Structure 1
Amino acid sequence: MPALIAGMIITIALAIVSLFVGVSDVSLASLLSGGWEGRPGEVLLISRIPRTVALVLAGASMAISGLVMQMIVRNRFVEPGTTGTSESAALGFLVVTIFAPGWPLMAKMAVAALFALGGTALFLRVLRAVPLRDVLLVPLVGIMLGGIVGAIGAFIAYRTNLMGSMLAWNMGDFSGVLRGRYELMWFGLAGCILAYIAADRFTVAGMGKDFTTNLGLNHRSVMILGLVIVSVVSAVVLVSVGSIPFLGLIVPNVVSMLIGDNMRRTVPWVAVGGAGMVLACDIVGRLIRYPYEIPISVVMGVVGSMLFLYLLLRTPRGAK
């Protein structure tokens, strides 16, 4: 518990730093001199606070969705980005943009979530048909499936002159987050709360269908609940800020190495770790080429790929 509190303090400190990092001059001195009605106050209220809240919500929800995905698939190397879930959500968002461009953002998010749910269900169906003799085959199958879905989306986007939009959805970036354009992210918080409530069920489901059934739980219901949480969170994050790679894979694995696999204990750690990692990567992206900004997906891709390689190299062949 003291370590978790320390992690929360570090995350809060990163959030405070995030409020004052940027091209516009927002500091305590400027806020005190200009008040909330001056330009620094407007920038803080309209841009910096919404952006920081979106960073925290996106980091926590995507990390927890990765944890849920790893529990229901029973593999440490899966997350929405390695199972075709994110690509399916992007395809759904593309389809609804083409055929119903006037729909409200909430309806578009719902369609993207349905496509994400279908893509994840297809991934699980493919896994049942493929003989898996190695733990690394599972993410490879997901990456190949995601590549196929992404190629279909790219073809449709090319034919409809929406390649720019497709690239924007696949490139996580918080620079466009403003007040009134991030509120869907609160659905991610609802997913985090639901995952914590059902944490014991997911822990049991991670031990296999037979074990779950013997304990009196409906394995199918737990799986469906997990898929819904992952799909909704993936769709919300994609619609709001784009795709964030490796987050749902790295944070749950690091937490698992530190405190074990009991999901009731790990959910708060994963939420804090995900929020802190996203905040840190976003701050680095804003500072490394100041006053220009590097999208968070680029920074997260570099950091996440190195950590992913480390996890692959330290995992024994055939380990679950």
Structure 2
Amino acid sequence: MTSPLLAPTPRSSARLFDPKLLLGVLVVAVLLALSLVTGVYDIAGADDGAQMFQITRVPRTIALVLAGAAMAMAGLVMQLLTQNRFVEPTTTGTTEWAGLGLLAVMLLVPQPSLPLRMAGAVLAAFVGTMVFFAFLRRVALKSSLIVPIVGIMLGAVVGAITTYLALVTNSLQIIGVWFAGSFTSVMRGQYEMLWIVALIGVIVFLVADRLTIAGLGEEIATNVGVNYNRMILLGTVLIAVTTGVVTVVVGNLPFLGLIVPNIVSMVRGDDLRSNLPWVCLLGIAIVTVCDIIGRAIIMPFEVPVSLILGVVGAVVFVLLLLRQRRRG
């Protein structure tokens, strides 16, 4: 028998179809239209402008939508399962583990295919996320502020190992490109694997209530008939797949999964199901704005979106830490 807690309440359903969501969709649509017309190449005047538009601008904009929504959503799921607002793939070492897996595949298999590289990144991201969750379950941390610090430290260790391996194998430049976090190289034929994260989004929406209950702790989840360990495993898989796929195709998008869920929860509360559309929209909007700025600020050159996103995310991270400290 299904627990009533696992079904969306009328109130949550009403909040899901908030009319203000249409305004958010309109704003994001304007930003995406601006992304389509921003760039050095003269799409309107060149003879092959229409062809270049289809090859580069459209795939890049689709990648902005998929990557932005996916990483914001991954941060939301991770924060829910850990009951900590300061964790996301960047602050738990998941991204660094994905990079290590990607490098391992490159070293073990000459000229690996894109799916094989993604498999390596996803597997390593899964292992790294499980290590982080296992650490949290076995070590009692008195302050929520310590959790992201531990995650960043674990990520730094993994990143150092990756850098050392890249250094001794003359792959350091490749690692730098992977972690640049840029949409510059995204074009038709190189981004299609990102559609995997759209499927992840559907799965998260379908199991949102069960993930919410699992986030309340093993005892509560068991009492209402939710298999706690199974949901933690599912959440970890979803986070790992999202991080691995985005890391391989786009690179590192730091702090996105930290900024977006916190802003949405401060405005709308902590209803996971009704917050998902807003989290996706805000993730898309932030990544698109940062990408447009990166294209325009030193045109005809581009600044990696991860650079701008990292600066913004670091400032927001510090502000959130100070806010939490004032609350005690």
Q: Please indicate the TM-score interval, normalised by the length of the shorter structure.
A: over 0.9
1:317, 1:13 → 2: CA distance?
Answer: 38
Superposition map of 1:228-267 within 5 A: 228-267=237-276
C-alpha distance in structure 2 between counterparts of 1:223 and 1:50, whole Å: 33
1:14 to 31, 49, 56: 31
Whether 2:14 is the aligned partner of 1:5: answer no
Using the size of structure 2 for normalisation, the TM-score is: 0.92
Paired AA for residue 21 in structure 2: L
- How much has 1:20 moved relative to structure 2? 0.6
Task: Report the equivalent of 2:179.
Answer: 170
Gaps spanning 5+ residues in structure 2: where?
1-17
In structure 1, the partner of 2:127 is: 118
Tell me the residue number matched to 2:277. 268
In structure 2, C-alpha distance between the alignment counterparts of 1:171 and 1:104, rounded to whole Å: 21
Moved over 3 A (4+): 316-319
Q: How does 1:192-211 map to 2 (within 5 A)?
A: 192-211=201-220
Given that 1:89 and 1:113 are in contact with CA atoms closer than 8 Å, whether structure 2 keeps it comes out as yes
Pairing 1:134–2:143 present: yes
- Equivalent position of 1:153 in the other structure: 162
Shifted more, 154-163 versus 303-312: the winner is: 303-312
C-alpha separation in 2, matches of 1:2 and 1:19: 27
User: C-alpha deviations, 1:159-218, integer Å up to 9, x for none?
Assistant: 100001111111100001110000111011111111111111111111111111111000
Matched to 2:204, the amino acid is: A
Q: Which moved more, 1:235-244 or 1:306-315?
A: 306-315
What SS does the corresponding residue of 2:90 show, helix, strand or coil? Answer: helix
Cα shift at 1:107? 1.7
Match of 2:9 in 1: none
Letter in 1 for 2:265: S
Counterpart of 1:299 in structure 2 is: 308
1:250 corresponds to which letter in structure 2?
A: I
- SS in structure 1 of the partner of residue 189 of structure 2: coil
SS class of match (2:263): helix
User: Aligned with 1:297: secondary structure?
Assistant: helix
Q: CA deviation at 1:307?
A: 1.4
From 297, 306, 317, the equivalent of 1:288 is 297
Deviation of residue 287 (structure 1)?
A: 1.0
Aligned length in residues: 311
- 1:143 paired with 2:160, answer no
Report the AA paired with residue 94 of structure 2: T
Query: What one-letter code is carried by the residue in structure 2 that aligns with 1:18?
Result: S
Q: Which sits farther off after the overlay, 242-251 or 128-137? A: 128-137
Structure 1: gaps of 5 or more residues: none
Q: Percent identity?
A: 46
**CA positional deviation for 1:318:** 7.7
Distance 1:247 1:282 in 2: 13
Q: Does 1:179 align with 2:196?
A: no
Question: What SS does the aligned partner of 2:285 have?
Answer: helix
- Which of these residues, 226, 232, 247, is aligned with residue 235 of structure 2? 226
Q: Measure the CA separation in 2 of the matches of 1:127 and 1:221.
A: 17
Pick the aligned partner of 2:100 from 77, 80, 91.
Answer: 91
Q: 2:159 corresponds to which letter in structure 1?
A: G
Cα deviation per residue 1:120-160 (whole Å; 9 max; x = unaligned)? Answer: 11111222333301111100110000001001111101010
The answer for the alignment partner of 1:51 in structure 2 is 60
Separation in structure 1 between the aligned mates of residue 222 and residue 110 of structure 2, nearest angstrom: 45
One-letter amino acid of the counterpart of residue 117, structure 1? F
Give the distance between the partners of 1:205 and 1:101, measured in 2 at CA: 41
TM-score, normalised relative to structure 1: 0.95
Aligned partner of residue 82 in structure 1, secondary structure: coil
> 1:37-64: per-residue Cα shift (whole Å, max 9, x none)?
x321011000000000001100000000
Q: Tell whether the 8 Å contact from 1:66 to 1:252 is kept in structure 2 after alignment.
A: yes
Q: Which amino acid aligns with 2:82?
A: V
Per mean C-alpha deviation after superposition, the further-off stretch among 199-208 and 135-144 is 199-208
Indicate the RMSD between aligned Cα atoms, in angstroms.
1.2
Report how far residue 316 of structure 1 moved: 3.8
User: What SS is found at the alignment partner of 1:80?
Assistant: coil
Superposition deviation, residue 4 in structure 1: 1.3
Checking the alignment, whether the CA contact within 8 Å between 1:117 and 1:231 is kept in structure 2 is yes
